[in-house]
Amino acid sequence: MVDSISHLASALESARSITKEAAAVVSSKLGESSYTQFSQSLDSEQLSTYLNSRNSREVKDAMKRIIATMASGDTSLNVEYFFADVLKNITSNDPKVKRLVYIYLLRFAERDPDLALLSVNSIQKLLNDSDQELRCFAIKALCDIKIQSLIPIMIHSLKKAVTDPSALVRVEVVYGLLKLYRWRTSLDEDEVDFLDTIETLFQDLLCDSEPRVISACIILFQNAYPTKLEWLHGHFRYYCKILKQLDSWSQSALIELLIKYSKTYIQAPTFINPVTNKKQQLSEDCFSFPTSNEIDMDADLFLFLNQLLPLRYSSNPLVIMTCCNAFYQLSTPSKLKDSRFSEALYRVYSISESEGIQTTILQTILFYAHIDITLFSNQFQIFFLLPEDQGEIATFKLKILSALVNEMNVKEVLYELKYYILFSQTEQIILAAVEMLIACANISFELENHIMKWLIKIMESNNLSPNVLDSFVDVIRKLIITNPLRHMKIILKLANVLEAHPDMADNARAGLIWLFGEMTTVEFRICPDILRKLVRSYTIEGVESRNAILLFAAKLLSCEVDKQIEMNGQFNKADSIIAKMYDDIIYLAKFDDEYDVRDRARYISSIFDSEKYQIATLLFQAPKPTTRFKDNNLMSFIQDNEETIGNDIKEYFNYIPWDENVETEEGSDIRKPVDLKDYNRYKKSISSNSFISKNNISRSFAGQNSDSDANISKVNATITSMSDRTVTTTSSTPKYKLQSLDDFFSDVPAKKSSSKPRTMKTIIIEEEDTSSEEEESSSEAEETGTSDDEEETSSSDNDSSDDSI
């Protein structure tokens, strides 16, 4: 009984394993996913058996298991152990297996170069394969195997594939040259003599007529030979014409190369300076004043800029930014506005989901808005903040709004900024919005007063965070310091705020005290009373406020000394109330807990104790620089935004100067187009000679001379005869007659059912045969060069022979 149960259990277990294998086979045939169900459980011995199997499915399962282990970084299976077994399958007829073997070979070829060289012969054989994808894989595998002894074989294979009729193969040749060029850094100087060969092959590929090949060549040009701009002489015009047919990444690279080429080998455009009414060459200085649309430029430069216009519909942000840079470098701001690339910039921003790309585009918009405010002034509302805008994106949007604000839109922009300040939950947005109020206040004196009163009102009524309160005070200081005399009412109101709110944040109180210190040279009368109130609260002030009070007392005493010396010729310290308040503050500061306050008090007291009043005047009454609101100098704009604009953006905004040594000789054209190389003529036709249709006829004569009227007449005659036969045949076929159920199930006589349809079928077959015979005879006559008269005589002889039969 026990034996029977054990036999039954073993039978069930074997059936279970057989069922699993069968399920794996079915899943592999249906979905090519058996490695997730079955091959993951294979051990090393089973993998080695599968790799040496003659069944392509088993080899594929084993290779998937090995590649999956390599990709996941699993160390439980030593995939390098199967190097020899994997390498045997390089001769497999399954393309998928070959791809997997190539992936494995690229990873471990350098560890066992002697064994990897055994596969080179099989890879080289694929260079003559009829499948273009296999030829591409062969070139890719040869160039990716970094074995030094393979360099001559790689170069020989690339030379052979340069003239390949397939564009995909030639593209892979270009990338192979790029890999060899990058590989030169790991070789010795004596081993890089193949660079001249790479340059020769690359210059041949630059003459290719296929845009896909040119796209790859541009990538190689930008990475390997960015300074060899003279190679573009004969290709400049052709590359401009096929610019829109290239890959999007190649488009941006080519535009950058052509910008540098234009700056080097094309004369700078000229325009009429509206200030001097004289002709002037285009330079960076032209962006400081408006220019007209009338600009004289070289015909090739005009061709380049004109071919950029269709690219404004591109979805690649890099292409749009590069086109904007081309108009900025090679033309005037008015031309950039007419090109409508400014609208394309925001379009690609709105469709992009990457925060990094959005930030870069906003930086670009901010730069061009600084160049010409009219580029985005009509669409300023699109830069209002959205609920999902946070961080740098919100900051750059607000900066763009500050650059676009003018008398027409200032009320709407100011309303938005107030809303962000009052209701935003993000402190960074609040700080940026407060900072942008300066641009609105710069529009008019009324707005300046309105903004400062509104800020003071918010300071008194709201419980603001220290950072926000400090930004409020900072904006008020910047607005007042430009013209303090016309803001006396605001200053007196700030004095009341300082007295009524002793619990104000330390940094904000220090800012207001500093402002009163600057007023000592403007309106001296209001300052002593403010200092009197601050002396009483000195011991309860914060560290920054105590430093500000100490500096305020020194400034006030310096002004008092200058006034007494000017009136009496000397300074009497005993009769000065300001000097007594100064002594009290110095006494308290010398015993302060903070060493910074103590040190500051000692060096200030040393100046006045030694009666070096001139030094005190230079130190404490020096004029402060005012805030620069809007500056037309682009470099100053970049310096002001140095913290937010990265090094890549700075380099991108760098204006390339025009070469002043460009000389054009009469009758010479350095950009004369070179002859293109069309390798499509090497392709073999796959059409049959016995099958002739309209499309095949048009294809057969597409490569011949279009001026040959004889060929065209023959084609038209053939098509006409074919259409006539088609009409005759279709007219003789019987029409379908709708039958009832009774007629359908009734017994039909055999003669009626087989007579007419069979004769019609026979007629149709005969006509098709005769037409094919006539077409074959006509095609043979054309190939042998016989004339139309001979063909007519031969056809008449055939007809007479048929009649006789």
Q: Answer for the pair 243, 254: CB distance below 8 angstroms, yes or no.
A: yes
pLDDT at 329 over 80: yes
pLDDT at 455: 92
- Residue-wise pLDDT for 774-796, tens only, equals 444 444 444 444 444 444 444 44
CA 30, 35, 41, 43: dihedral to nearest 10 degrees? 120
Which range has the top average pLDDT, 97-111, 302-316, 459-473, 703-717?
A: 302-316
User: Average pLDDT over the chain, rounded to whole?
Assistant: 78
- CA torsion sign for 33, 38, 40, 45 is negative
- Residue-wise pLDDT for 360-376, tens only, equals 999 899 888 888 888 88
Tell me which amino acid residue 384 is. Answer: F
50-64, 309-323, 766-780: segment of lowest average pLDDT: 766-780
Structure-token pair, residue 373: 């405010």
Structure-token pair, residue 376: 């985005």
The three-state secondary structure class of 437 is: helix
Q: Over range 176-201, report the average pLDDT.
A: 83
Ordered alpha helix ranges (H), 372-444: 391-404, 410-423, 427-441
pLDDT at 22: 56
Ordered alpha helix ranges (H), 109-166: 113-116, 120-125, 132-144, 151-161
pLDDT at 210: 93
In this structure, the number of other CB atoms found within 10 A of the CB of residue 620 comes to: 21
Q: How far apart are CA 397 and CA 393, in angstroms?
A: 6
Q: Answer for the pair 539, 574: CB distance below 8 angstroms, yes or no.
A: no
pLDDT at 661: 80
| Structural Rg of the chain based on CA atoms | 43
Q: Answer for the pair 106, 145: CB distance below 8 angstroms, yes or no.
A: yes
pLDDT at 636: 52
Q: Over range 404-421, report the average pLDDT.
A: 92
Q: Over range 53-79, report the average pLDDT.
A: 85
The three-state secondary structure class of 297 is: coil
More confident residue, 535 or 192: 535
pLDDT at 685: 46
pLDDT at 534 over 80: yes
pLDDT at 681: 67
Q: Over range 194-218, report the average pLDDT.
A: 93
Q: Over range 116-143, report the average pLDDT.
A: 86
The three-state secondary structure class of 123 is: helix
The candidate with the shortest Cα–Cα distance to 112, out of 141, 94, 142, 87, is: 87
Q: How far apart are CA 729 and CA 725, in angstroms?
A: 6
Structure-token pair, residue 212: 């896909």
Structure-token pair, residue 527: 């300052």
Structure-token pair, residue 801: 């022979």
Residue-level length of the chain: 805
Largest CA-CA distance found in the chain, in angstroms, rounded? 150
More confident residue, 345 or 572: 345
More confident residue, 745 or 556: 556
Q: Over range 466-480, report the average pLDDT.
A: 89
Instruction: Annotate 588-625 with DSSP letters as a single string.
Output: HHHT-SSHHHHHHHHHHHHHHHTT-HHHHHHHHSPPPP
Percent of the chain beyond pLDDT 90?
Answer: 28
In this structure, the number of other CB atoms found within 10 A of the CB of residue 295 comes to: 17
Q: Answer for the pair 242, 217: CB distance below 8 angstroms, yes or no.
A: no
- Residue-wise pLDDT for 161-175, tens only, equals 999 999 999 999 999
Give burial (CB, 10 Å; 0-12/13-18/19+) of 55.
Answer: exposed
In this prediction, residue 23 has a pLDDT band, given cuts at 50, 70 and 90, of low
- Residue-wise pLDDT for 632-660, tens only, equals 444 455 555 555 555 677 778 788 888 88
Structure-token pair, residue 448: 């300046």
Structure-token pair, residue 335: 């031309």
pLDDT at 93: 84
Q: How far apart are CA 642 and CA 636, in angstroms?
A: 10
pLDDT at 643: 52
Q: Over range 725-754, report the average pLDDT.
A: 48
pLDDT at 406 over 60: yes
The candidate with the shortest Cα–Cα distance to 699, out of 713, 714, 715, 717, is: 715
Tell me which amino acid residue 169 is. Answer: V
Q: How far apart are CA 482 and CA 613, in angstroms?
A: 27
Q: How far apart are CA 581 and CA 587, in angstroms?
A: 10
- Enter the DSSP assignment of 208: B
Q: How far apart are CA 779 and CA 506, in angstroms?
A: 100
The three-state secondary structure class of 737 is: coil
Q: How far apart are CA 727 and CA 546, in angstroms?
A: 107
- Cα–Cα distance list, 262 to 161, 203, 266, 433, 665 (Å): 33, 20, 5, 42, 17
pLDDT at 337: 86
Percent of the chain beyond pLDDT 70?
Answer: 74
- Residue-wise pLDDT for 695-735, tens only, equals 433 333 333 443 434 443 443 444 344 444 433 334 444 55
Sequence spans of domains, the chain: 690-733+748-772
Q: How far apart are CA 440 and CA 437, in angstroms?
A: 5
Burial 770-780 (b: 16+ CB within 10 A, else e): ebeebbeebbe
Q: Answer for the pair 62, 47: CB distance below 8 angstroms, yes or no.
A: yes
Tell me which amino acid residue 184 is. Answer: R
Q: Answer for the pair 404, 373: CB distance below 8 angstroms, yes or no.
A: yes
